[in-house]
Amino acid sequence: MEMNFNQHISGQFNADLEAIRNHMMGMGGLVERQVANAIEAICSGDTRVADDVIRREDEVDKMEVTIDHECTQILVRRQPAASDLRMVLAVSRVVRDLERIGDEASKIAIHTLEVADNSSNQLCQQAMRYMGAEVVKMISGALDAFARHDVDGAIDVVRNDKLVDQQYASALRELITYMMEDPRSIGQAINILWILRAIERIGDHARNISEQVIYLVKGTDVRHSSLTEIEEQAHKE
C-alpha cells in the first residue's frame, strides 16, 4: 500500500477541500484589496475609490454564501473527521470573519464619503494611515499563515492586533482632545471615530482568522484566550 497521507482515497474529496480553501483565499484577497482601497480612499479623499469599495461589497457577500454552501456540501457528503473536519470548520469561520471585514471596509468607505464633503483637514490622518496599513498586513499575514499552516505567523498576527488596539486607544485620546478643543469638529470627529473603530474591528477579525489557523493545525480552540495562552497552546506538542 502506498502511504501517502496527503491524498485522500477519494480524489474528489481532495478536490472539494482544495476548492473551499482556494475560494476562501480568493475571497481573502478580495477583502484585503477592499480594505486597502478603503484606507486609500480616506487618506486621499478619493470618492471614486470609496464608491468602488461600496459596490464590490456585494461580491464579498456572495462569496461568503457560496463558500459556506460548499462547506455544507462537504459536511453532508464526506462527514470529514480530524484535520479535514477542522479545515472545513475553520474555512467556514474564516469566511464569516472575512465577510465582516468586508462590511467594515464598506463602512469605512461610506464614512469616507461623508468626511469628503467636509473639506477641512482630516483629523488623525497619521493614525488612520498607520493602523490601516497594519490591518492590511494582518489580513494577508493571517491568510498566509492559513495557507502555510504556519502557527508562528498566526501568533505574529495576534501580537499585531495588540499593537493596533493600542494605536486605536491613543487615536481615541487624540480625537477626544480635538473635540474638547473645538466642539465644531465633533461631527467630523465622530465620523473619524467610526472609521477608526472599523479599522480596529478589522484587526480583531484578522486575529480571529489567525486563531482558526491554530485550531486548524493544533486542534485547540484558542478563541477568547489571551496571547500567552495562545502561545502556550501553539507550542504544546
Partner 1 sequence: MSIIENHKTNGAAFCENPKLKARNVGVFYGEKQAIFDVSLDIGANEVIALIGPSGCGKSTFLRCLNRMNDTIDICHVSGEILLDGENIYDTKVDVVPLRARVGMVFQKPNPFPKSIYDNIAYGPRIHGLAHSRVDLDEIVEKSLQRAGLWNEVKDRLHSPGTGLSGGQQQRLCIARTIAVDPEVILMDEPCSALDPIATAKIEELIDELRENYTIAIVTHSMQQAARVSQRTAYFHLGQLIEVNPTDQVFTTPEHTLTEAYITGRFG
Let me know: does 210 contact 155? Beta carbons within 8 Å: yes
Q: Which of residues 38-57 bind partner 1 (CB under 8 A)?
A: none
Stretch that binds partner 1, among 1-9, 129-137, 161-169, 198-206 (CB under 8 A): 1-9
> In the complex with partner 1, which residue's Cβ is closer, 86 or 107?
86
Cβ at position 77, least distance to partner 1 in Å: 12
Query: Taking CB under 8 A as the rule, does residue 3 contact partner 1?
Result: yes
Burial of 207 (0-12, 13-18, 19+ CB in 10 A): buried
Give the shortest CB-170-to-partner 1 separation in angstroms: 40
* Position among 1, 11, 173, 181 found at the interface with partner 1 (CB under 8 A): 1
Q: Nearest distance from residue 150's CB to partner 1, in Å?
A: 18
**27 in Cβ contact with 66 (< 8 Å):** no
Q: Could you give the 3-state DSSP secondary structure of residue 116?
A: helix
Q: How far is the CB of 226 from partner 1 (least distance, A)?
A: 22
Q: Which is nearer to partner 1, 48 or 82 (CB)?
A: 82
CB of 153 to partner 1, least distance (A): 20
11 versus 181: smaller Cβ distance to partner 1 = 11
Q: Of residues 145-174, which lie at the interface with partner 1 (CB under 8 A)? A: none
CB of 35 closer than 8 Å to CB of 136: yes
- The burial class, CB within 10 Å (0-12 / 13-18 / 19+), for 189 is buried
**Which string of b and e fits 1-28 if b means at least 16 CB within 10 Å?**
eeeeeeebeeeebeebbeebbebbbebb
Judged by CB under 8 A, the stretch of 21-29, 56-64, 180-188, 217-225 that binds partner 1 is 217-225
CB count in 10 Å sphere of residue 225? 16
For residues 75-114, which are near partner 1 according to CB under 8 A? 78-86
DSSP 122: P
Indicate the residue among 4 and 119 with the shorter CB distance to partner 1: 4
Q: Assess 13 for contact with partner 1 (CB under 8 A).
A: yes
| Closest by Cα among 139, 93, 129, 126 to 108 | 129
Sites of contact with partner 1 (CB under 8 A): 1, 3-10, 13, 78-86, 218-220
